[in-house]
């Protein structure tokens, strides 16, 4: 039998290596590099109304905690297991001075001080002073509850933001917890970095949000932009220029800022000008995140109306077939896996924003290791609000640079 | 800028250690210290009627087993995987002499002897004699099926109990498998020790079962008791004295006895006198338990009518909001975690019963290690029934000690 | 007290060893011995119609893959994570030349070549040439999609089978994916070997499929057969002789062939003669398999009508009580566990087919280790179709050997 020489197939999936991910950039548990970095900042963990006399379980950076508001109006966040014998304070009774465990009635204030031990009439204040329910400091601003989970002696100030402080006539600040921008449900089952990196990826917009889904935003957004990336002090700024059919140019600036900020102008471009809202990507654990948003609105509910729709349907109203046929941010990012397989990536020129944000994160890990504050930490009470260049701007045909320089 | 010296927060949850549990007191698998200790006693694993010609899967101490009753009335418990090729005897056919595997028809008696191999006409009795389906010895008493899972040469007698042997006119013995006393469903998803320790914790009663839930039992039980704990030969006895508004004193004695007995008088105190029932906490595995009860009743169903209710609703009828707002034993104990985090406990004077029961358990682990029988093992067939001091007793105003001494 | 000497129980389940399984015969992941052996053969992974312009997720040997058919009719199978940034090609758009990722629009052909990178206008063909989406070679035959997941330079020919090539008048070839022969649903939650071994176990038929289930096939199959096993070049052949009441003899030959073939004549014996169909047991992963079948039929749907029924009900229509009372292949094999506990088996004379098939598999593992092709690999394009002796044959009273010798 004469045999024909056969060229073996190339590039098949046989023998490929087990995928790996960049743990130092993605994992958020206590004691991990990124977990400790994120613990140096304040994070929004609920809406103001979430702190009430009904204890509420919250997940943050791999920790489960109990949020409540005592009868004097103070919001508190405590470790769920009662310091006595570990019954959960989820079943606690909220009183004027704090939260009382259901099992033996120990009462704790918002800072974990033990105020009462009703089954211990012999034990006085001194004994109670040795008991402390683990707690975290809380602040409230912009309709959100903020939590600091880091080392006590590193606690920074909770920053003010220009976009939320300088409010125009008829506008007010509203907060939202529906994970606007996530393209799916409130809790999104993949690592937070997959979403955070998406913020510095304007190229996917004309593909995922126009070619695949139909025009999800506005026709202008379907144009493939010219893009410039820039690392600024505490983030990566993306400037996208789109030449529009009428000869004007859409100049769109968005920022991914430390620690987890989405500073993204409305992709539906209701009006031109500076960014309307700020979002915070909250890692619940290594494999889940959600997004809190605060923004300037003219009517209550303006924020939640920004949630993505497809043929008028919200994500949870789509059939499995529609999810497959019209994928959005949720499908693209969640399908990267619980944590993306970085070892299998092929980054190209359009991914340089992603390269930059990873470098920025690594520099902050270095800062921590070297005992310095990471970028974006505010310690000066006199510092003015943080300003971003982000916004949608329209350049007229003859206008070369219509915007004031921002930095 | 002049800076105000800031005192860092104290007692926050940052940097707390990973919780640990006392494995030697909680884990029940074969070969573990507590698993081997519990394997030295008989345990109820079903109601008499559970053993029938329909094979039934039971979980005990981390093992899955098959319970059946052959055509001659003998209850049997065997390992599920057929000794031949491992098909489950759950699919077996129960016959006069034993249980027959569905796959190739091997027939085993209640002691695992192989009686038939229908696909092996050449193989005789001698070959069959080499095959043994793993089995455990069974007894029946008090309406319950009892199993001994320990070393064959350590098998003790199945104890008789005074509370179930000395029956008054109009009373009879009834058994129940609804996990009375567990405050929840039949199978409770946490470690058995969390419930067993609850038996020596009378202080939680006025808090959890009165202040939190509303008066769950009777008003007298809402009074904070004076309590005395006593280690007796095979258990810890708790005596709670409550001064009632009418000048009488409620003297309530309960016992946690080895290995897993709840000797708890009715908290609804239908009548005074010695304890009406005994419960056995059966660890299904490290993270699940259930409770079997046998008691003297006057009408069928008296036991199951003791199940906790809230506003007339059984546990499974409550909404999630009601579970949170009106927690009971189930919520308190299950919320301690699959296995409680002992490293985070702060035991105080009201927890001395818990300290005593742990010591008692540890002494039995020592006994095992030293080759001695643990306490509560009965080997003398002439021994009278085990008696407990437990009961609800009413002391009149002038009466100092109205009860006969019990030991 | 005089004590009666007590003989301790023997053969109890106490102290039995943790069960183990033969990993080298059962586990199918990449890099495992059996995984690598199975990767030397083509496997059916779908029906022809499963490859379409809607991407479809398939599981094979522990790998998740995407099956599609491009606009030019070519079926393709690729790794799900896009080579760019890992979004799943499940959400891809199928086009004339291949499949396009939803995230940034990279287009891949059925061999994983990158044809377009729409966000990379500067990068040309040379850059794209460095990117390859991992893929596997595909063929189509007998209504099935075939996949080769092995080393490219070992890729064999896809065999032809006499049973599917020599078609009689009025017959045509049909394919089915309902896991005919599995006795249950499409996906069966246990290791593939449990089913494969069942093929060389004719003794279970009169027990499981007659005594337990009632007459599941035809009365003749309820007769306990005389059985002869024979290792042939690429399989184990089982010849079962049944003496029927009318003096005739049913001679039934079935084969388990490499790699996973079920060559089993219809147990309902519609007509006598050579085997009508071939099945392939596809391991989805270590704990799940499914069966694809191709066969000669006279009417569309003849194959799926072979699915087991009990009192006219399909498996999924039975109640839990019926599943327990009338177990079939599914219940027997799945109840052996996710992977059978080989350390607890007691193999006897009726299991010699199982011993032979395990030896046959081990010899192929040896061949692989020694750098030789395992049995059943076809490399000669001139080779005729593979023939099997399998079939149902009726021997008349006076007829000693009515069948032509087949080998």
Q: Is the pLDDT of residue C15 over 90?
A: yes
From residue A92, give the alpha-carbon distance in Å to each of A87, A127, C198: 9, 22, 57
Q: Distance (Å, rounded) from C-alpha B272 to C-alpha A256? A: 72
Please tell me the predicted confidence (pLDDT) of residue B4.
Answer: 60
Whether the predicted pLDDT of C407 surpasses 60? no
C-alpha A361/C-alpha A310 separation (Å) is: 34
Q: Tens digit of pLDDT for each residue in A226-256? A: 999 999 989 999 999 999 999 999 999 999 9
Backbone angles phi, psi at C138, to 5 degrees: -125, 145
- What's the confidence (pLDDT) of residue C309? 84
Residue A99 three-state SS? strand
Across the interface, which of A63, A122, A135 has its CB nearest the CB of B11?
Answer: A135
The model's pLDDT over C200-223, given as tens digits with 9 standing for 90+, comes to 999 999 999 988 877 778 888 888
Contact B372, B365 (CB under 8 A): no
What distance in Å separates the CA atoms of residue B326 and residue B315, rounded to the nearest whole number? 10
> Is residue C387 very low, low, confident or very high in pLDDT (cuts 50, 70, 90)?
very high
Average pLDDT over residues A359-365: 98
On the question of pLDDT at C405 being above 80, the answer is no
Pairing type for strands B75-78 and B63-69 reads antiparallel
- How far apart (Å, rounded) are the C-alpha atoms in residues C348 and C133? 50
Contact call for A333 and C87, based on CB within 8 A:
yes
Of the candidates B271, B279, B292, the residue with the CA atom closest to the CA atom of residue B218: B271
Min Cα distance B25 → chain C (Å) is 20
pLDDT number for residue B221: 87
The first and second tokens of residue A154, run together, are 């590193």
Whether residue A163 is predicted with pLDDT greater than 90 in this model: the reply is yes
HSE, side-chain direction, 13 A CA sphere, residue B1: 8
Query: Is a pLDDT exceeding 60 seen at residue C406?
Result: no
Least confident of A120-124, B393-397, C96-100: A120-124
- Taking residues A87-98, report their average pLDDT: 98
Q: Considering only CA atoms, which of A399, A398, A376 is closest in space to residue A41?
A: A376
CB contact under 8 A, A340 and C104: no
**pLDDT-based confidence at A399, cuts 50/70/90?**
low
CB B220 within 8 A of CB B209: no
Tokens of C22: 């033969």
Q: Is the pLDDT at C306 greater than 90, yes or no?
A: no
Give the pLDDT score at C268.
85
- Which DSSP letter does residue A49 get? G
Closest of A302, A265, A217 to residue A394, by C-alpha = A265
pTM of the model: 0.94
Q: Is B30 close to C9, i.e. CB distance below 8 A? A: no
Across A262-289, average pLDDT: 94
Mean pLDDT of chain C: 94
Calculate how close chain B gets to C395, using CA atoms only, in Å. Answer: 24
Q: List the single best residue of C208, C336, C348 to mutate versus B (max B Cβ within 10 A).
A: C348
Over chain A, what is the mean pLDDT?
Answer: 94
Count of CB contacts below 8 A, A vs C? 122
Give the up-direction half-sphere exposure of residue C107: CA atoms within 13 A in the CB hemisphere. 15
Q: Cβ of C202 under 8 Å from any chain B Cβ? A: no
Which of residues B256 and A128 earns the better pLDDT score?
B256
Would you state the pLDDT for residue B312? 87
Residue bearing tokens 């089915």: C176
Nearest Cβ partner for C332 among B30, B54, B91: B91
Residue B398: its pLDDT value, please?
62
Which of C104, C152, C153 is the closest to A350 by Cβ? C104
pLDDT at B291 over 90: yes
Predicted pLDDT at C3: 56
| DSSP designation for C48 | G
pLDDT at B1: 45
Which tokens is B232 given? 């007796």
Structure tokens at B136: 């455990």
- A349, C102: Cβ pair inside 8 Å? no
Residue C310 confidence (pLDDT) above 90? no
Indicate the residue of C211, C224, C344 with minimum beta-carbon distance to B86.
Answer: C344
Q: Tell me how far apart the alpha carbons of residues C93 and C85 are, in angstroms, rounded to a whole number.
A: 16
Chains that touch A (3 or more CB pairs under 8 A): B, C
Residue of A nearest to B197 (CA): A85
| pLDDT tens figures, A297-323 | 999 999 999 888 888 899 999 999 999
Segment 351-390 of chain A within 8 Å of chain C by CB: 351
Closest Cβ opposite residue C207 in set B105, B130, B382: B105
At residue A404, does pLDDT exceed 50? no
Report pLDDT digits (tens) over A44-70. Answer: 999 999 999 999 999 999 999 999 999
**Do B285 and B29 form a contact (C-beta atoms < 8 A)?**
yes
Give the model's pLDDT for residue B127: 78
Q: What is the mean pLDDT of residues C216-238?
A: 92
Spell out the alpha helix ranges (H) of C78-218: 125-128, 162-165, 192-198, 204-206
Asked if residue A370 has pLDDT above 90, the reply is yes
What would the mean pLDDT of A188-205 be, rounded to a whole number?
97
The mean-pLDDT minimum among B254-263, B353-362, C117-126 falls in: C117-126
The rounded mean pLDDT for chain B is 94
Would the pLDDT of B3 be above 60?
Answer: no
State the pLDDT at residue A214: 73
Contact C120 A348 (CB under 8 A): yes
- The number of beta carbons lying within 10 Å of the beta carbon of residue C202 is 23
For the cut 90, the answer to whether the pLDDT of residue C174 exceeds it is: yes
Percentage with pLDDT > 90 across chain A:
86
Indicate the range of A195-209, A390-404, B188-202, C23-37 predicted with least confidence. A390-404
* Total Cβ atoms within 10 A of residue B33: 20
Q: What angle do CA B130, B131, B134 make, to 5 degrees?
A: 130
* Whether B11 and A112 lie within 8 Å, measured CB to CB: yes
């Amino acid at each position: 039998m004469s045999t024909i020489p056969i060229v073996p197939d190339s590039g098949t999936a046989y023998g490929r290596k087990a995928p790996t991910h960049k743990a130092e950039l993605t994992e958020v548990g206590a004691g991990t590099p990124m977990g400790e970095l994120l613990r140096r900042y304040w994070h929004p963990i609920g809406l103001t109304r979430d702190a009430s006399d009904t204890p509420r379980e919250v997940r943050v950076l791999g920790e489960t905690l109990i949020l409540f508001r005592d009868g004097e109006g103070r919001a508190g966040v405590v470790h769920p297991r009662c310091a006595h014998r570990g019954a959960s304070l989820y079943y606690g009774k909220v009183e004027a001075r704090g939260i009382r465990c259901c099992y033996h009635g120990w009462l704790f204030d918002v800072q974990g001080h033990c105020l009462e031990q009703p089954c211990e009439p012999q034990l006085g204040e001194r004994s109670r002073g040795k008991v402390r329910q683990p707690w975290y400091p809380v602040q409230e601003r912009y309709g959100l509850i903020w939590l600091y989970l880091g080392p006590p002696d590193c606690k920074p100030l909770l920053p003010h933001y220009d976009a939320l402080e300088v409010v125009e006539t008829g506008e007010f600040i509203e907060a939202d917890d529906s994970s606007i921008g996530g393209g799916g449900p409130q809790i999104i089952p993949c690592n937070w970095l997959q979403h955070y990196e998406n913020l510095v990826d304007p190229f996917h917009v004309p593909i995922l949000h126009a070619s695949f889904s139909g025009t999800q935003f506005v026709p202008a957004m379907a144009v493939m932009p010219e893009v410039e990336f820039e690392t600024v002090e505490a983030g990566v700024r993306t400037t996208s220029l789109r030449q529009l059919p009428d000869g004007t140019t859409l100049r769109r600036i968005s920022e991914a800022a430390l620690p987890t900020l989405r500073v993204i102008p409305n992709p539906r471009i209701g009006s031109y000008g500076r960014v309307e809202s700020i979002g915070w990507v909250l890692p619940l654990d290594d494999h889940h995140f959600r997004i809190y948003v605060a923004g300037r609105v003219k009517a209550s509910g303006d924020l939640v109306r920004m949630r993505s729709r497809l043929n008028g349907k919200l994500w949870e109203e789509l059939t499995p077939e529609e999810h497959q046929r019209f994928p959005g941010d949720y499908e693209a990012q969640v399908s990267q896996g619980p944590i993306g397989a970085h070892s299998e990536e092929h980054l190209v020129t359009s991914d340089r924003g992603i390269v930059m944000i990873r470098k920025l994160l690594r520099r902050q890990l270095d800062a921590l290791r070297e005992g310095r504050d990471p970028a974006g930490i505010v310690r000066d009470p006199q510092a003015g609000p943080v300003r971003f260049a982000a916004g949608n701007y329209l350049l007229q045909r003859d206008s070369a640079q219509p915007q004031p320089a921002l930095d």
